[in-house]
Structure formats: structure tokens, C-alpha cells
Amino acid sequence: MNDAELMRRALLLAHRGLGRVSPNPAVGAVLVKNGRVVGEGFHQYQQVKHAEVIACEQAGTEATGASLYINLEPCAHQGRTRPCCEYLAGKKIARVVAAMQDPNPLVNGRGFRSLKEAGIEVEVGLLEAEAASLNESYTKFITLGIPFVTVKAAMSLDGKIASASGTVREHFSGPDSNTRNEALRLQVDAIAVGANTVLADDPLLTYRGKEKRRRPLIRILLDPHARVDPQCRLFQDPTPIWWVRPRAGRPLPAQVSLIEPGSEYASSWKAILTRMTAEKMYHLLIEGGGETNAGALMARIVDKVIFICCPKLVGGRETTGVIGGEGFRPPISLKKMTVSQVGSDFWVEGYL
């Protein structure tokens, strides 16, 4: 295997930590000696150990003189573990190939410097774009202390999320998109919807994928006018709900905690993000509908949009679209657009 293939393997290992790594970065490590993989590992928050340590432990004495392929700069600080750089030097690793620098202000280049000082050969930047995208929520959170926010919506090719009659929500996306949806839900800490979506769809909003999560997916309901009834399906699942609504007179179901909405929509989002920060949750997924998406964009909290364009045309002058509200003047410009085909749907993604 060449360098790029080995880094790809490290990235693949890192992926296996998703759902169990938040609020830490997803990190995978591969140790190679004489062209043979002698150890590998990935980080999971609960298990404390960093990826490179797991790989070295697996390699045993073979670690001496080996090359390490890792998607993030080895740490140089004392956290829950001792610095990995020190550990790697102790194991007499010969070479470290890293995809990107660790944006954590406690590391941020100090890891590479410390490795070089120990006489270890260091190469940085292989598959950097892939590595940066894998840990984009970690990067924002560790540098700004604010969760990364993604708006995701499935729509007809003409941007509608409801049937032409106006009220009935449609599920335009195909089965392959639904599998990828679960993968996305695995990566995030919380999922938010507006009252209209709950009234129209009665969704559960739970994570139903095969991989285990470390913490439950928090379900957030924006309901500033207290229109949602606790009889709906959302409340039939015991995983936590943050209900953004005015204080209720009657007792709330056990899994529900209340967030009082602000006088403006923007301040409800602020309250949600502040609470997420306090609980070290670094990725919020907003799943609409049109007014909720518009509100989040107006509040300028959104980092990324994922629009799933499905092979349907709905039409209708009044049909609910994917973004409601008053509209944006000037229009919001998106950057770094990508598109991928998933079954018959097209996932179009871009950054604010």
C-alpha cells in the first residue's frame, strides 16, 4: 500500500469512531513497518486512549522504527491522557505522516514540533481536505466554542417539501438516501425541527442506525407558540427532548427539558447553541421545515446546507418550499459546492 492508501485506511478507521467520539475529533491511526501493517486503531471518547496509542499497543515491539499514518496531528498536551508525542518518541517511531494540524489551541503545531525535536520524520498534508471535512464540527467547536450547524432537507427537484395541496408533507427521497440519513444522524449530537414539521409529519426523530452511539441523539423541538401536543410520537420515545416553548402549567414528560424561547427567533437558536456548548455537543442538524430552515439561516447560525434533490416535480404557486420566511436580500451565497448521486437522488452540499 502507498502513502495515500494508508492514509485512506486511517481515515476509514477514524470514521468508525463516529457516534462515539464527540466532542473529540475522529482519529484513526495505522502503523506500518517494512511494508506491513503492524497495528491500527481509532479513538472513542469513552475508551479515553488516543488512536496512535491503540495502534502502538497492537504493534508491541514492532512499533520501533515504524511509520505512523494518522489523520490528525498527534497531541502535545496533557489531557485525559499523557501527550501522544511523548509516547510516540518513547516507542521510537521513525516517521509520522499526518493529514492535518490539530486546530485545538493546546496543540496547533506543537505536536509536529515536538515530534521533530525527538528526531521523528514528519510529513503533513496528505488527504488534508478529506481529513478537514471529517472533523469540521470538531474544528469549529474547539476553535470557537460554538456548535457546527447543518441544515438538511429532502425536496422535489423544484424545491418543494409538501404536496401540491399544501399541507401534507411528502417523503420524496429514496431508500439509499435514507441509509445515508442514518449515517448523518450518527455524526450529530442533536437534531432540531419546528412545530409545523411535527404537526404535519409526526416524526420520531430518533437514531435508528446499526452503529452504537455513546450519547443519545437529543431531539429539539422549536415550538414558540406551544402548538404541539405531548400526545405526538416524538414524546413516545424515551430519548431526551429539548422543547423550546413558553413555560407550561402542567408537568412535562420525564425525558423533556424546557428551553424558554427568546423574544426573537434568533435568541431561541442562541439558547439552544449555548446549552449544546455547555454539554459539549458539537454538531446540530436542522431538519426543517421551511420556516425553521429560514429562521436558522436568518439567525446566521448555519455552517452547511445539505439539499437532497429528488426526481419529482410538484409545482403549485402556494406549495411549501424548502426555505420559507421573508427571503434573503441579497441572496445567500454558498461556497465549496459538491454533488453526489445517492440512488435516484442528488445530494447537493455547500457551505455558508
In the set 98, 107, 184, 198, which binds ligand AOF (CB under 6 A)?
A: 107
Query: Least distance from C-beta 17 to ligand AOF, angstroms?
Result: 8
Which of ligand AOF, Zn ion, none does residue 27 bind to, with CB < 5 to 8 Å depending on kind? ligand AOF
Phi, psi of 241 (to 5 degrees): -130, 130
* Angstrom distance (rounded) from CA 199 to CA 255: 20
By the rule CB under 5 A, 54 interacts with Zn ion: no
In the set 19, 39, 74, 147, which binds ligand AOF (CB under 6 A)?
A: 74
Instruction: Compute how many other C-beta atoms are within 10 angstroms of the C-beta atom of residue 9.
Output: 18
How many residues are present in the chain? 352
Q: Are 95 and 123 in contact (CB under 8 A)?
A: yes
In the set 15, 50, 91, 185, which binds ligand AOF (CB under 6 A)?
A: 50
In the set 8, 9, 20, 50, which binds Zn ion (CB under 5 A)?
A: 50
Given the residues 5, 40, 52, 182, the one annotated as active site: 52
By the rule CB under 5 A, 142 interacts with Zn ion: no
Pick from 287, 86, 70: which is nearest to 182 by CA?
287
Instruction: List 151's β-bridge partners, or say none.
Output: 286, 305
C-beta of 81 vs 274, nearer to ligand AOF: 81
Which of Zn ion, ligand AOF, none does residue 104 bind to, with CB < 5 to 8 Å depending on kind? ligand AOF
Q: How far is CA 334 from the centre of its chain?
A: 19
Query: Least distance from C-beta 138 to ligand AOF, angstroms?
Result: 7
Query: Least distance from C-beta 26 to ligand AOF, angstroms?
Result: 8
Binding to ligand AOF by CB under 6 A, coded x per residue (else -) over 315-334, reads: --------------------
How many residues at the interface with ligand AOF, by CB under 6 A?
Answer: 18
* Angstrom distance (rounded) from CA 136 to CA 187: 11
Among left, alpha and beta (phi > 0; psi -120 to 50; other), residue 87 is alpha
Q: Are 172 and 164 in contact (CB under 8 A)?
A: no
Whether the link from the prior residue into 289 is cis, omega within 30° of 0, is yes
Q: What are the residues whose beta carbons fall under 8 Å from the beta carbon of 129, sequence distance 6 or more?
A: none
By the rule CB under 6 A, 71 interacts with ligand AOF: no
Q: Are 38 and 21 in contact (CB under 8 A)?
A: no
For the question of residue 260 being annotated catalytic, the response is: no
Active site residue ranges:
52
Binding site for ligand AOF (CB under 6 A): 24-25, 27, 43, 50-52, 72, 74-75, 79-81, 84, 102, 104, 107, 142
Binding site for Zn ion (CB under 5 A): 50, 75, 84
